[in-house]
Structure 1
Amino acid sequence: MSISFARRVAAALSLAVLIAPAAHAGDVTFQIRNNHPNAMRVELYSQDRDYVWPGNGKDFYLDDGETKQLPISCNDGEKICYGAWVDGDESTYWGVGPNNQESCEDCCYTCSGGQTEEIDLEE
């Protein structure tokens, strides 16, 4: 292989890397209200990659009656679902539940900026 051919291949590969679309960061704020008489824990789960907010074995905590804004950074177009459960009782849950193990109909949102409507979790 000639040196000039190798240079052209290297230049083409470098250009391809620069042109390839990267995942664009986005932001969305989940607005969640706990209307259950007990405190609850919440996690947000990406359905497009192996990622959880807040992550690192932590979760969001909501006292009974509390409304919380949960801002996250995500990839534009990424599908994010909430999972919530009563503190100390993982069998009482909303959305995809603890550890993203359940299915849901109305608990997922697309990362596209802005905020969700108020998600009202009640008995």
Structure 2
Amino acid sequence: MPKKQISTDTLHSPNGVFSQATTIEATGRLVFVSGMTARRPDGSIAGVGDVREQTRQVLENVQAAVQAGGGTLADVCRVDVYVRNMEDFAKIHEIRAQYFAEPLPASTMVEVSKLAHPDYLIEINAIAVVS
């Protein structure tokens, strides 16, 4: 069930690690990953004050949830990213590039004033299609 990255010259090229759009044949199992934060399995928060380390932990958590659903990060078609500071865009995408390869998932990033804990800098939810 190949995922395909959509790119068209009628839209501006993405400036981060995501596609303009992503298509996939919907004949697999959908895995909806709830918002993942920088919580480690022991409950502690990784990278307090460090968006790169928090992004790494968040993506490890997304990966663990997708794997528990029978897939890999290659199966992720969409992510929604909530950040406390949009100025961290480049730092976040530096880490994302270590986790996602083409064809890249579609993505939206939004700056928010608060997350569920004052030490959280980023939260990501995801949708994967697993064959």
The TM-score normalised by the length of structure 2 is 0.26
Q: Name the structure with the higher helix share.
A: 2
Q: TM-score, normalised by structure 1?
A: 0.27
Q: Report the structure, 1 or 2, having the larger strand content.
A: 1
Q: Which has the higher contact order (CA 8 A, sep 6+)?
A: 2
